[in-house]
Amino acid sequence: MKKEITLKNERHGTQATAKAEITTAGNYRLTKAQCKRLRAELCGSKECLCSGNTGARGEVTDSDGMSLDIFGYSDGSVELYPAKYVDCEGRSVLH
């Protein structure tokens, strides 16, 4: 099952969407390829340091309007957690 995620980059005034896989924990997962496409859409500059893996800088929401936080993995993929359920190190506190 997938869910549409909207990411914004407030520095560049851009917005992009992606279909994220829903994980067994109920979070969302974007692949490295999806992150690469999103970064190109949201920022576009290889030299710019405005954001992380996804190019997001600012609001990230699912299609229900829930605010999400991003946790990046070393393989270039990311997991998105409901913002109110994340500890200070980006780990889901729902487990």
Share above pLDDT 90 across residues of the chain, in percent, rounded to a whole number = 64
Query: Rounded CA gap, 28 and 79, in Å?
Result: 6
The number of CA neighbours under 13 Å toward the Cβ of 69 is 14
What are the φ and ψ backbone dihedral angles of 47, each rounded to 5 degrees?
A: -85, -15
Domain segments of the chain as ranges: 2-85
Mean pLDDT of the chain: 88
The number of CA neighbours under 13 Å toward the Cβ of 60 is 25
Q: Are 39 and 11 in contact (CB under 8 A)?
A: no
pLDDT reported for residue 93: 62
The number of CA neighbours under 13 Å toward the Cβ of 25 is 14
The predicted-structure confidence for 37-53, as pLDDT tens digits, reads as follows 999 999 988 888 888 88
pLDDT-derived band at 26, boundaries 50, 70, 90: confident
pTM of the model: 0.82
